[in-house]
Structure 1
Amino acid sequence: MNLDQALQTFITESRELLADMEHALLNIDLSQDLGDQGEAINAIFRAAHTIKGSAGLFSLDHMVAFTHVVESLLDAVRDGRAVIDDDMVALLLACCDHLSSMTDGLAAGQYEADPDTAPEGERLLQQLRRRMGAGDEPAQSLAEQSLTVQPEPDVERMGQAAGDGDSDYWHISLRFGAGVLQNGMDPIAFLRYLARLGRIAGMATVADALPAADEMDAELCYLGFEIAFESTADRAAILGVFEFVRDDCEIRLVAPRGKVSEYVELIRALPENPARLGEMLVQCGSVTAAELAAALAQQSQQSLHPEVQGEAGAQPAQEAPQRLGSILVAAGQVAPVVVEAALTRQKQVVEQKAQENRSIRVDSDKLDRLIDLVGELIIAGARTSVIGQRLHDAELLEATSTVSNLVEQVRDAALELRMVKIGATFNRFQRVVHDVARELGKDIGLAVDGEDAELDKTVVEKIGDPLMHLVRNAMDHGIEPAAVRVAAGKLARGMITLNAFHESGSIVIEVSDDGGGLRKEKILAKAIERGLVDPERKLTDAEIYNLIFEAGFSTAETITNLSGRGVGMDVVKRNITALRGSVDVRSVEGQGATVTVRLPLTLAIIDGFLVQVGSSVFVIPLDTIEECIEFAAEPGQDYSNLRGQVLPFIRLRALFHIAGAPTRRESIVVLRFGKVRAGLVVDTLLGEFQTVIKPLSPIFSEVRCISGSTILGSGDVALILDVGALLQAVDGRGAVAPALPALAV
């Protein structure tokens, strides 16, 4: 791994750690005592510690200095010297924001402290020190602190040879690879950061790999180090110092108070390496290093003399890790439950690493390119099928059928690569709810359900801002102040609920609140006042509620930083419509409101069903079709009797003003979109078709009932029907609304 790759990895991992840190802070239960909060606090501490350690490897002193103080405060909380409360959570969240801005600056090539954000960093450092009770100490500037976090060790100074026998020091045996310098890594930087975890008590430079002078390459590294290291850090923390150079070095680490040479020889003599179990037991304090060394010696003796092992009735050799535990238990040095817990944890780590090794990061542009190519492959495959049918060649038809099936599998696999869980988007709103609630002076919580629901990455990226506005609007307009809620018999704490689920080939996202709900009389009066509605027209409750999505509409009596200007809800609807989605709202006054957003799972390729009206061919998304039936209705009626139920229908020929008389035998395609069910009257059913969605030209942006187009195997263009817009034409009485904009085809 070269320096640029390592730095990019650091940036990516830092962003992930900051997201984890923020999530843990927002979900910590302040009503619990320190013991119950321990897991969350430790997770926050580990995230800060990892960022600090990795930043030190790249000499990002400004990040190290800032994170060091954050880490110190968290350490004080862990030790009980400081108490975490809502104000501290807000402070630590602000620190996350500051570290995030540092990370963004690093991604943009800013390797030093940014003068524009330095004052904010100083302010946060002062607050952090005050929380630790260090407010009376003279404050260092961030620049000064970056130079004085730890003194740089004199890495050239030779000390006592490390780790030749019993010792209170960690013994670190380090051999850097020859290409470490060429990969942009500085070995001295790793030793410099190591000193920040403790004290280098002694260090010997090993030059046994140094070649003759005439064979030396100045760009290669030939040195190694034997280090005696005094520290309270654990094994993981010390190994973490060398994380970014693990591929370019060999490192061996022996815990303090171990008989190093004997210990290493015993491990090397075993057929398998059970030392990891022993290391876990030593680290948790269940056994001493001497007890472990004795158990390993006994195990090694058994493996060298299997006849002795057989007489003792020991377990088979492949179960060596369990035998080590049995030896320690038989000697009365450790409880069986501790050994079982260590083995269980060992198995979890192995499974976790195996899972991690199965995941790779792929540039999203490459996935987009793959989807485009799959789309072209589908179109080419459809063209081949048409040619086969025209030639009436049975062999060719069979081959094209096989290719079509394979293309369908490739399509599904490619689309799965772009599917991501919406939970990551939902988790962003934890911070929004926390910050906005503090700004409004309200007590508001957020509940999330359905975060495992998946949809296209492109849709996820574009739906974030509309959902953000809906959440903020619900907090500002929907949730009442605590006193008002209590007076109404509600809990003082208001709740915003985000829910996601799949339905009819779409994903449905609900944003709900348990506030005061929408006041339809006030909405209608405001709409009439602004000339948006004819005073004589009777509107349903749903139509009244949906007036809030009109441009410039607002019932707020005062303008705040969050709302009241009538700007936003119309943009929300416009953005959702651009994604071929729909938005609806329902409310019960005094109980709350729910905004429902319905979106397609993907914007690229869908399974479609071809229908024909006259000479025009249309595509209906297959997931919205329930069944197809023969058309039967009385003349002049716009509904049919479907097994005892009234089924309203829409005549596509009349809707799109298609010339010509209908065929003698028409069909009805029964559709369902959400809770609405209706039929489409068509001339001919042509069957299923893999549909590559092509966007319409901007000049058709105002056309309703059409969501896109596709290319058929014949080379002709077919229009994709917008089922949501079509079924909105059916009103609450089950009849087709009279005023439906038509499209001439």
Structure 2
Amino acid sequence: MSGQDPIAAFRVEAGELLDATEQALLDLSHDLESRALIDTVFRGMHTLKGSGAMFGFDALAAFTHHCETTFDSVRKGLIPATAELVALTLAAMDHMRTLVDDRDGSSASAVGEDLLARLHALLGNAHASAATLSDGEEASRVGPAASCLGHQSWHVTFRLPSDALTNGTNPLILLDELRDLGGTNLAVDLSAVPPLDELDPTQCHLGWALDLPASVTREEIEDVFIFVIDDMELSIEAIGNQAEAVGTSGDALPASEDLPIKNSSQVVPVAEARGSPLSRPASESVRVPADRLDLLMDRVGELVIVQSRLAQLTSNGVSGPAGELALRSISEEVERLANELRDTMMVLRMVPIASLFGRFRRLVHDLARETGKSIELETDGESTEIDKTVSERLADPIVHLIRNSCDHGLETEEDRIAAGKSPSGRLRLSAQQAGGEVLITIEDDGRGISRERVRAKAEANGLIQPGQVLSDSELLQLIFQPGFSTASQITNLSGRGVGMDVVKRTIEGLRGNIDMTSEPGKGSVITLRIPLTLAIIDGLLVRVGNGKYVIPLAAVEECLELSLEEDIRSRGRSMIQLRERLVPFLRLRELFATGTRPDPYQKIVVIATGGERVGLVVDQIIGSHQTVIKSMSSLHRSIPSFSGATILGDGGVALILDVVQLVALGQSHEERLRAAG
């Protein structure tokens, strides 16, 4: 029996369906006449409604039904697709996400009621318009099936594919939709039901027949079966005229002679059939292409073969040059397979960054409406892959950066025209892989960053001294200081200075860094340098006293030797001069209280993050080490200076140094020295 929680699986698939439908809505906002996009939105809502009802999300199904009805009116030409309708439907999609997390919708019922009232207002206007149509126009809208054939009703017979139940199709939902269309005289065909000892409960053996009024169009009947129509048996007959079968693969089903369903009370309600809801928490999942799983299976198969060779060798005993040679061969094979398994497993966690970029189309759409600006979003490099965990943690920082670009960077249409620019502002998101890093760039063609305002604000906040000489990069990095904002007034989007410092902390927590350039009048470019994965890093293994530590190699700039004379001379200052610049350094032996004497020839490992540099004094540099990161125990997570641990080849444990914390310690140490001297 599968251990997967079906409710958790539904929530994952519902999230993906909502994402896809939201993207179609955003595309529709740029092409309001696109029938294909309108149909895509309608099908997405239709699927979500049916799936939600199947898994007990009745509030979601009921709410989505109204949204589906609205877009059904758009499909039929009763109401036009407008920017207002798209914006309202996007707000409705947000409420649907809430209902996916909250089954009964009690936490946001008022929001849902307000959205439904606005949707009903749109439909009310559409019905008022429809009432003014002439008979000829009405006949044209209804179509030849109703106006030309002159029949009184439809007779519909259908049989679902045998695997419909296993594929998630619920016949009760289809029958409910047919009943909503005015279906009567429902009957069940039992002719294909096998004897009990041959019955497969996972197969659908029933057929159905019913009558529908002539006011229903053939297209509306077909829409009920839109997701199974290609594989099912369906006959739609206009009573009094020649029958027309759609998608049939057999004879029409008998109707009145079969067992009738006298009333709906004989049908087990869907909510009762489901039983008690499952309440297990949803677990994260990653969709993995089948070819990557095949590659993983190949590696595991090779590993099993090597293990068999090793078992046979040890059972026979390892002796002599031949035995040692065979053992060395197996050792090399295991090393190769371990490396390939590591690479394969890292690839399994990778997801295209398009899944991250896709979220920001909605954000930019809403920001454009809120600020009254015209903003065009461009994306590039969406096929670039990144670790799923990294992707999730990048969402909030990029949201902050986009909001700042739209609010502070991009000008209004009038200001852009006055500056000789196009009326629409351009915001560009791009990604590319560079070695073991992913570079994510947020670029706008707005007004750029005013150095004068940044310097004035920094001096007012005491971040720098008046007239202090700073490089352009150092000056721009000041905007990432806590509480820093150059906005003249506080708005709903920005101005309180609590966003950019969060961005910096989050990126540094991912072992990344931020580069920024800006040209006044032409725009700004912010580049996030992020490691591909958080699970494995290249590190520099060092010894301090009797302990071993790992410094992330991406943060290491260079290594120097600290002689005994220089060590004694720097006592009290802890500063070295490196290419005409003073760099503070920390004696890790003292910081970690090792209680050991220093080695005669200590080393300084210079690390850097966010434009700041600090030296770390160690006793010995052992060499590079590919590090598998293990999280700290609950008792040690609050200890600063360490971000994790790893197990070495000899079975010992080495702590991984937190570069951001160490740089902060170095900065505070330097400030104390300046204050004292």
TM interval, short-chain normalised: 0.5 to 0.7
Which of 101, 112, 119 is the equivalent residue of 2:113? 119
Distance 2:44 2:515 in 1: 40
Q: Match for 2:495: what amino acid?
A: G
Report matched runs for 1:207-356 at 5 Å.
Answer: 209=193, 224-227=206-209, 232-233=218-219, 237-239=223-225, 252-253=233-234, 257=243, 264=250
Aligned residue in 2 for 1:22: 22
Q: State the secondary structure of the residue aligned to 2:516.
A: strand
What fraction of aligned residue pairs are identical, expressed as a percent? 37
Aligned residue in 2 for 1:304: none
Q: Match for 1:85: what amino acid?
A: T
Distance 1:179 1:25 in 2: 31
Aligned residue in 2 for 1:287: none
Report matched runs for 1:713-724 at 5 Å.
Answer: 713-718=649-654, 720=656
TM-score, normalization: structure 1? 0.61
Aligned residue in 2 for 1:43: 40
Please tell me whether residue 691 in structure 1 is matched to residue 611 in structure 2.
no
Which of 475, 484, 495 is the equivalent residue of 2:426? 495
Q: State the secondary structure of the residue aligned to 2:416.
A: helix
Indicate if the aligned counterparts of 1:450 and 1:499 stay in contact, CA closer than 8 A: yes
Distance 2:547 2:245 in 1: 86
Q: 1:23 Cα deviation (Å)? A: 0.9
Deviations 1:129-183 (A, max 9, x none): 255254999xxxxxxxxxxxxxxxxxxxxxxxxxxxxx97554135989999xx9
Deviations 1:356-396 (A, max 9, x none): xxxxxx953899xxx9xx9xx9xxx9xx9xxx9xxx96655
Aligned residue in 2 for 1:317: none
Indicate if the aligned counterparts of 2:156 and 2:234 stay in contact, CA closer than 8 A: yes
Q: Match for 2:392: what amino acid?
A: E
1:656/1:482 Cα in 2 relative to 1: closer, same or farther (>3 Å)?
Answer: farther
Indicate if the aligned counterparts of 2:233 and 2:247 stay in contact, CA closer than 8 A: no
Indicate if the aligned counterparts of 1:653 and 1:682 stay in contact, CA closer than 8 A: no
Report matched runs for 1:566-605 at 5 Å.
Answer: 566-605=497-536
Distance 1:222 1:502 in 2: 50
Aligned residue in 2 for 1:281: none
Indicate if the aligned counterparts of 1:455 and 1:601 stay in contact, CA closer than 8 A: yes
> Which range moves more in the overlay, 200-209 or 681-690?
681-690
Indicate if the aligned counterparts of 2:178 and 2:224 stay in contact, CA closer than 8 A: yes
Aligned length: 564
Please tell me whether residue 364 in structure 1 is matched to residue 284 in structure 2.
yes
Q: State the secondary structure of the residue aligned to 1:533.
A: coil
Aligned residue in 2 for 1:152: none
TM-score, normalization: structure 2? 0.66
Q: 1:546 Cα deviation (Å)? A: 0.8
Q: 1:527 Cα deviation (Å)? A: 1.0
Which of 376, 379, 383 is the equivalent residue of 1:448? 379
Please tell me whether residue 485 in structure 1 is matched to residue 416 in structure 2.
yes
Q: Which runs of 5+ in 1 are unaligned?
A: 138-166, 266-361, 641-645, 730-737
1:205/1:112 Cα in 2 relative to 1: closer, same or farther (>3 Å)?
Answer: farther
Q: State the secondary structure of the residue aligned to 1:455.
A: strand
Distance 1:740 1:406 in 2: 50
Aligned residue in 2 for 1:712: 648
Q: 1:399 Cα deviation (Å)? A: 3.4
1:33/1:511 Cα in 2 relative to 1: closer, same or farther (>3 Å)?
Answer: closer
Q: Which runs of 5+ in 2 are unaligned?
A: 132-152, 238-242, 252-281, 288-295, 311-317, 567-575, 591-596
Q: 1:514 Cα deviation (Å)? A: 1.3
Deviations 1:612-645 (A, max 9, x none): 789775546577899x9999xxx99x999xxxxx
1:584/1:722 Cα in 2 relative to 1: closer, same or farther (>3 Å)?
Answer: farther
Please tell me whether residue 556 in structure 1 is matched to residue 492 in structure 2.
no
Aligned residue in 2 for 1:421: 352
Please tell me whether residue 129 in structure 1 is matched to residue 113 in structure 2.
no
Distance 1:51 1:551 in 2: 43
Q: State the secondary structure of the residue aligned to 2:601.
A: coil
Distance 1:209 1:719 in 2: 66
Q: State the secondary structure of the residue aligned to 1:20.
A: helix
1:709/1:222 Cα in 2 relative to 1: closer, same or farther (>3 Å)?
Answer: closer
Please tell me whether residue 83 in structure 1 is matched to residue 58 in structure 2.
no
Q: Match for 2:206: what amino acid?
A: G
Which of 457, 461, 465 is the equivalent residue of 1:534? 465
Q: 1:105 Cα deviation (Å)? A: 2.2
Q: State the secondary structure of the residue aligned to 2:428.
A: strand
Q: State the secondary structure of the residue aligned to 1:595.
A: strand
Distance 1:649 1:73 in 2: 67
Indicate if the aligned counterparts of 2:78 and 2:127 stay in contact, CA closer than 8 A: no
Q: State the secondary structure of the residue aligned to 1:573.
A: helix
Q: 1:125 Cα deviation (Å)? A: 2.3
Indicate if the aligned counterparts of 1:504 and 1:674 stay in contact, CA closer than 8 A: no
Q: 1:475 Cα deviation (Å)? A: 1.2
Distance 2:584 2:434 in 1: 25
Q: State the secondary structure of the residue aligned to 2:362.
A: helix
Aligned residue in 1 for 2:600: 661
Indicate if the aligned counterparts of 2:234 and 2:248 stay in contact, CA closer than 8 A: no
Indicate if the aligned counterparts of 2:437 and 2:532 stay in contact, CA closer than 8 A: yes
Distance 2:512 2:657 in 1: 13
Q: State the secondary structure of the residue aligned to 2:491.
A: coil
1:654/1:261 Cα in 2 relative to 1: closer, same or farther (>3 Å)?
Answer: closer
1:208/1:518 Cα in 2 relative to 1: closer, same or farther (>3 Å)?
Answer: closer
Aligned residue in 2 for 1:147: none
Indicate if the aligned counterparts of 2:438 and 2:531 stay in contact, CA closer than 8 A: yes
Distance 2:234 2:510 in 1: 55
Q: State the secondary structure of the residue aligned to 1:715.
A: coil
Aligned residue in 1 for 2:254: none
Distance 1:216 1:405 in 2: 52
Distance 2:168 2:29 in 1: 44
Distance 2:450 2:204 in 1: 77
> Which range moves more in the overlay, 400-409 or 59-68?
59-68
Deviations 1:24-77 (A, max 9, x none): 1212364x573xx22222211221232334445568665555444433443443
Which of 150, 159, 162 is the equivalent residue of 1:173? 159
Q: State the secondary structure of the residue aligned to 1:364.
A: coil
